[in-house]
Every structure is written in C-alpha cells, then in structure tokens.
C-alpha cells in the first residue's frame, strides 16, 4: 500500500482531488474513492520486493553522499581555517554590482535558495513574477554572487554558474569577487560553519536581522596567498565534484524507480508469480 500511495498516478489523483490546501489535505472518504490497481496479493508482494531493492539502493547512495559531504566539510575546515593565516575584511575583495535590466533584454528571472543555489523563479514560486515589468530588476552574470539580505543568514547566497545571466528582484545584493581572493576559495569558505556563524552574528546585529553589503564587507575571512587559495580550492572542487556526481546518480535512480513504479502499479508491466507463490497467498 505504501508504494501505491507513493506512485505517480495516485499522487496526481490526490493532488487533483485535494481541497486546495497548501498541505494537500484529503479526507478519509475521498481517499477511499481513489482507484487502487487490481493486482493479486502474490503480485503485490513481488512488486513490493522489487521496489524495496530500489529503496535500498537509494539508501546506500544517500548514505555515501552524506559521508562524502562530511569528509568535504572536515577537509574544508582543516584547509581553510588555518589560525596562522592572516584574516582580512571582505570589503577589500568584493565589488557590488547594481546593473539594472532597463531594456528588459534579460527575461530569465532567477531566485537564490539555501538548498539549490540559483533556481528559476517560476520553479520556486509556481508563477513567473508578480511584477509586470523587469526593468528595475538587477542583472546577475555568470561568476557573480547574489544573496537576499534577509535570508543570507540561512544560507541563501550563491554564485551563478548554470546560466550566462539572469534577472533578480531588486531586493537582492549582487557582487563579484576580485583582488587577492580566489572565487572558488571564497565559495568553499561560504559553505563553512565559520562563515555561517559570522553571517548569523552580522544579522543579529541588525534591527531586522538582515545583512547589507556593508555588513558582509565587515566580516573577516582567512586570506592565504593566492597560490595557496587556488591549491585548496582545486582539492575541494574535486571533492565537491564527487558529491555532484552522486547527486546526479541519486536523481537518475529516483527517476527510474518512479517510472518503474508507474508501470508496475498500473499493471502495464506484469511480474511473474510462481505456483508456489500463488499457493502461499
């Protein structure tokens, strides 16, 4: 039954029949009316066993990903946070960019999340943009960073890598890294526990718990030689690439499992059941 309820067909029906609530509430009476695939008990057991195998594979991949992430965090802490390295204010290495989308040539509206970085705004909010005009939106270009001042304390800051450019709500702060600070090194520092703590402290010092560009610039960051920064970033990039490959594999296996569920639970693909399994039912 668990797999039936998780199946894409039934999930679509549940969404269609829900009350319109944010949480997709469905009454017991409505749930009882939803169609359940007509599959024999032996087939149900065999399908459940097949899908459990996929669940186990996903559990192993997720566990491996979690272990790799812990290793990356530990490596970053060891390499970046050297107490012997001089710490300097970020203001000497960051330049704010406030280019407006005056002619509205940039139509790709982006948003920054704490979990996925830059995403298309319509994917996050289920609609394009509330404003009819994008002329006051800020343009962010590949390699530049952006953050929401009221959400940077929960990790909503990222570098644009997936697109050449995009348009951001005017509330965002856009900046680029320059001078003697390597952009990749800075990116890894941003993901560290120390960075989160310092940003949170900067937010607490604000009346509205926001972090302005000036507040960000007042934060101290370890700045080894540029050669050392690049060497550290290279090693951490390699570790991050392994995690990204695992993320891709997890997504692929999840899609495959979803497709398999649909075919098995709708009866499009039938499983073979032996006479012994039929008798045991």
Which residues lie closer than 8 Å to 134 by C-beta, 6 or more apart?
A: 101, 104, 106, 107, 109, 167
Would you say residue 6 lies in a domain? no
Give the model confidence (pLDDT) of 1-53 as tens digits.
555 555 555 556 555 655 554 445 656 676 566 666 666 778 888 888 899 99
Give the model confidence (pLDDT) of 114-126 as tens digits.
888 999 988 766 5
CATH number at residue 134: 3.90.220.20
From 42-46, 88-92, 135-139, the region with the lowest mean pLDDT: 42-46
Does 270 lie in the same domain as 178? no
Would you say residue 177 lies in a domain? yes
Does 248 lie in the same domain as 210? no
Helix, coil or strand: residue 76 = helix
Alpha-carbon torsion angle 114, 115, 119, 121, nearest 10: -60
Give the model confidence (pLDDT) of 210-242 as tens digits.
999 999 999 999 999 999 999 999 999 999 999
Does 212 lie in the same domain as 96? yes
Looking at the 3D structure of the chain, how many domains does it have?
Answer: 2
- What residues make up the domain containing 132? 89-221
Does 170 lie in the same domain as 95? yes
Tokens 């999340």 belong to which residue? 113
Does 51 lie in the same domain as 107? no
Nearest of 198, 114, 210 to residue 158 by alpha carbon: 114
pTM as predicted: 0.75
Would you say residue 29 lies in a domain? no
Average pLDDT of 149-165?
Answer: 93
Cα–Cα distance, 227 to 209 (Å, whole number): 36
């Amino acid at each position: 039954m668990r797999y039936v309820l998780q199946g894409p067909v039934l999930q679509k029906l549940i969404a269609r029949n829900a009350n319109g609530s944010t949480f997709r509430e469905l009454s017991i009476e409505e749930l009882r009316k939803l169609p359940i695939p007509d599959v024999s008990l032996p087939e149900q057991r065999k399908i459940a066993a097949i899908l459990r195998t996929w669940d186990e594979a996903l559990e192993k991949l997720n566990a491996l990903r979690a272990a790799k992430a812990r290793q990356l965090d530990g490596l970053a802490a060891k390499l970046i946070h050297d107490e012997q390295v001089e710490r300097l204010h970020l203001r000497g290495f960051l330049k704010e960019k406030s280019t407006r989308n005056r002619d509205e040539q940039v139509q790709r509206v982006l948003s920054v999340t704490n979990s996925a970085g830059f995403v298309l705004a319509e994917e996050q909010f289920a609609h394009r943009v509330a404003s009819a005009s994008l002329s006051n939106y800020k343009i962010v270009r590949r390699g530049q960073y952006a953050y929401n001042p009221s959400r940077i304390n929960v990790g909503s800051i990222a570098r644009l890598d997936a697109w050449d450019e995009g348009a951001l709500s005017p509330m965002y702060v856009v900046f680029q890294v320059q001078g003697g600070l390597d952009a990749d090194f800075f990116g890894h520092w941003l993901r560290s526990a120390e960075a989160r703590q310092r940003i949170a402290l900067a937010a607490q010092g604000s009346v509205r718990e926001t972090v302005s560009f000036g507040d960000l610039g007042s934060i101290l960051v370890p700045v080894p030689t540029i050669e050392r920064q690049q060497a550290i970033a290279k090693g951490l990039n390699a570790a991050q690439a392994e995690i990204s490959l695992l993320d891709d594999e997890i997504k692929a296996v999840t899609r495959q499992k979803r497709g398999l569920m649909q075919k098995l639970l709708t009866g499009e693909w039938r499983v073979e059941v032996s006479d012994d399994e039929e008798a045991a039912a």
